[in-house]
Structure 1
Amino acid sequence: MDPESEGPQIIKVTPLQQMFASCTGAILTSLMVTPLDVVKIRLQAQRNPFSKGKCFVYSNGLMDHLCVCEEEGNRAWYKKPGRFQGTLDAFLKIIRNEGIKSLWSGLPPTLVMAVPATVIYFTCYDQLTYFLKSKLGENESHIPIVAGIVARFGAVTVISPLELIRTKMQSKKFSYEELHRFISRKVSEDGWISLWRGWAPTVLRDVPFSALYWYNYEVLKKWLCEKSGLYKPTFMIHFTSGALSGSIAAIATLPFDVVKTQKQTQLWIDECHKISMPLHMSTWTIMKNIVAKNGFAGLFTGLIPRLIKIAPACAIMISTYESGKAFFQMQNARRQQYQ
């Protein structure tokens, strides 16, 4: 259904062009989704003021990041006072009183990780897809699952230590020398594996998410093309397929997201307050504890906020990425005509 999937055109979009398209999509997604999370965090801080050492999850639409509060009074963007009556009221008052730039507070540090991770992920997925199609055939239905699993596994593994370091830097203002000492001590005490703390629940959440997302995306894209009588998908088909497949994957993997957040939060409570906590509990043990305390519904805490972020983020990212690839494909085709 997609022109890229035809044999002669497989190599028409180069890896560098895929990287540029995914980078553009990542930046655009962050710019459009971050304000939703900034408003959510400000509303949370209004109801339960953040104290030093308190953790909250910040999302730029591409990745979730654990942030640790500092003692900065009202100077910190997440502690600024406000009397908001709801989401829309918060949007309007933040823009009026603080300027529109405040809706993107805290974005630059997270983009440093989110953009490279997204570029690695999408480029690897496409390259693996092309490779597997050349070996297994164009119509092999398991290709999106395999490519999605391998690409996400690689991206999570590369980024995981950087996430730990970035979170530590946010918890306190560290010099590079102090950060080096922290990493050296961590490695000498617990080994190199300690830099991948939280990797297992992240993989359990992100890898199944990726497999479900890409499989459903390809199926929905093909189905919508057939229903519309189109040979290749339009921007709206990419957008709709991305939103629906992202929502399905988000619901299915939410329990692992709850576990990951709880595990990371416990880690940084321990770092900030020196409280002895069972940080080395397995994912399954944490899940059992959540069910015992809050019932099965506890594993799906925060479903609506997660869907509100993930559905538009997936839709914007994939439609921008596919549009970028289509643009480069046209440019490459024109270049070949003149050769």
Structure 2
Amino acid sequence: MAVFDAVTVSPLVKSFLAGSFSGTCSTILFQPLDLVKTRIQTAITLPSGGSNGGSGSVGMLATAGRVVRNERLFGLWKGMTPSILRCVPGVGLYFSSLSWLKTTFCEGQPGPLQAVGLGVAARTLTGVTLIPITVIKTRYESGVYTYSSMREAVCTIYMKEGPRGLTRGLLATLLRDAPFSGLYLMFYTQTKRHIPLRYMDSNLSPALHFTCGVVAGLLASAVTQPFDVVKTKMQLYPHKFTSFHQAVVYVNHKYGPRGYFKGLVPRMLRRTLMAAMAWTVYEQITKSFGLK
């Protein structure tokens, strides 16, 4: 009864629940794209002479096919548990903090620069809170580590690397996620403003929200991709890449500028479709909750 009362009264609780539900749907649906992205980046992370079952130039379809052959179809959903543990509360926390920030600082109608600031602030809070799960999720997906459970992953990392091991790649993660969210929110809100209100309030509303999300996701993903590559390297090979600068220099020295965009296609597809779906579901649920 207390939970029900909270849901009927608190806009923050409503935003959190709406965000969590939208995050669950999109995480389950698009997990294979995230796994493929990590595997592509893992292939170019290995030391010289190392092998990950293929060359550094492996493509998205070839990587997906290799996973299916070696680990069966459900191998594409490896890492689902940490993904859900990260994305479900993460998306809920992001939307609820974003809702509070919008209401507090810009009366619910952010301008372009305000949208960037709000997105950065909300994602930074979420990224710092959930970085241990992000590390575990990346290692699960990589195929390099063979943890049998979340508990084993936490214990192993803690024993071998100490508390710092659970925060590997935090700077790269924030440089990836915070700008992505800020840019995404700016592109999303500005794209919506160019669509006549009569269409946004019609039956076309879900499709239009999804389209705005796709446009925003494509642009934001391309800008932040280099930090995703660096983050993957730091989290998978903590002894080889002990600092953000070292990982950045390694990629440029060994692969040139193109190395920073490995895995761009699956990440762009996943982040774009996931964000678009999350925002579409979120918009519809918040409308039914009476927050719109």
Change (3 A) 1:160 1:244: same
Match of 2:60 in 1: none
Determine whether 1:280 maps to 2:242: yes
Equivalent residue for 2:121, pick from 150, 161, 177:
150
Distance 1:237 1:107, change over 3 A: same
Match for 2:11 among 8, 11, 14?
14
User: 1:88-237 maps to which residues of 2 (within 5 A)?
Assistant: 104=77, 106-134=79-107, 138=109, 140-164=111-135, 171-173=146-148, 183=158, 186-187=161-162, 192-225=163-196, 234-237=205-208
| Partner amino acid, structure 1, of 2:175 | L
Residue 144 of structure 1 aligns to which amino acid in structure 2? A
SS in structure 1 opposite 2:289? Answer: helix
Pair 325,282 (structure 1): closer, same or farther in 2 beyond 3 Å? same
Structure 1 pair 24–40 and aligned structure 2 pair: CA distance change class (3 A): same
Moved more, 171-180 or 307-316: 171-180
Q: How does 1:255-270 map onto structure 2 within 5 Å?
A: 255-267=226-238, 270=239
> Matched residues in 2 for 1:139 and 1:324: separation?
21
Give me the whole-angstrom Cα distance separating, in 2, the residues matched to 1:211 and 1:181: 34
Query: What residue in structure 1 maps to residue 224 of structure 2?
Result: 253
Deviations 1:55-78 (A, max 9, x none): 9xxxxxxxxxxxxxxxxxxxxx95
Q: Following the alignment from structure 1 to structure 2, what is the Cα–Cα distance between the partners of residues 176 and 38?
A: 21
CA offset digits 1:127-157 (Å, max 9, x no partner):
11111124xx846443211111111001010
Q: Cα gap change, 1:179/1:146 in structure 2, threshold over 3 Å: closer, same or farther?
A: closer
Percent same amino acid among aligned pairs? 25
State whether structure 2 residue 279 is matched by structure 1 residue 318.
yes
User: Using a 3 Å threshold, how does the CA distance of structure 1 residues 203 and 241 change in structure 2: closer, same or farther?
Assistant: same
SS at match of 2:288: helix
- 2:79, 2:103 → 1: CA distance? 37
Greater shift, 292-301 or 29-38, is seen at 29-38
Structure whose CA Rg is larger: 1
The count of corresponding residues between Structure 1 and Structure 2 is: 262
Post-superposition Cα deviations, 1:30-53, rounded to whole Å, max 9, x if no partner, equal 232235556888999xxxxxxxx9
Following the alignment from structure 1 to structure 2, what is the Cα–Cα distance between the partners of residues 216 and 32? 24
Rounded to whole Å, the distance in 1 between the matches of 2:251 and 2:20 is 37
Task: Give the deviation of 1:250 after TM superposition.
Answer: 0.2
Separation in 2, partners of 1:79, 1:230: 41
TM-score, normalization: structure 1? 0.64
SS at match of 1:280: coil
Q: 2:96 is aligned with what amino acid?
A: T
| Residues 246 and 311, structure 1, Cα contact 8 Å, conserved in 2 | yes
Name the stretch that deviates more: 296-305 or 116-125: 296-305
Aligned AA (1:240): T
Cα distance 1:139–1:183, how it changes in 2: closer, same or farther (>3 A)? closer
Structure 1's 151 and 115: CA in aligned 2 closer, same or farther, altered over 3 A? Answer: same
- 2:215 aligned residue: 244
TM-score by length of 2: 0.73
Pair 1:307 & 2:268 matched:
yes
Q: Distance in 2 between matches of 1:79 and 1:158?
A: 33
Contact kept, 8 Å, 1:145 with 1:212, in 2: the verdict is yes
- Which structure 1 segments of 5+ residues have no match? 1-10, 45-52, 56-76, 83-93, 271-276, 334-339
Helix, strand or coil at the partner of 1:244: helix
- Measured at CA, do residues 223 and 305 of structure 1 come closer, stay the same or move farther in structure 2, by a change above 3 Å? same
Q: Which runs of 5+ in 2 are unaligned?
A: 1-7, 42-50, 54-65
* 1:209, distance to aligned residue in structure 2 (A): 0.6
Q: Does the Cα contact within 8 Å between 2:23 and 2:88 map onto a contact in 1? A: yes
Structure 1 residue 244, shift from structure 2 partner: 0.7
Letter in 2 for 1:246: G
Inter-CA distance 242–266: structure 2 relative to 1 (3 Å threshold): same
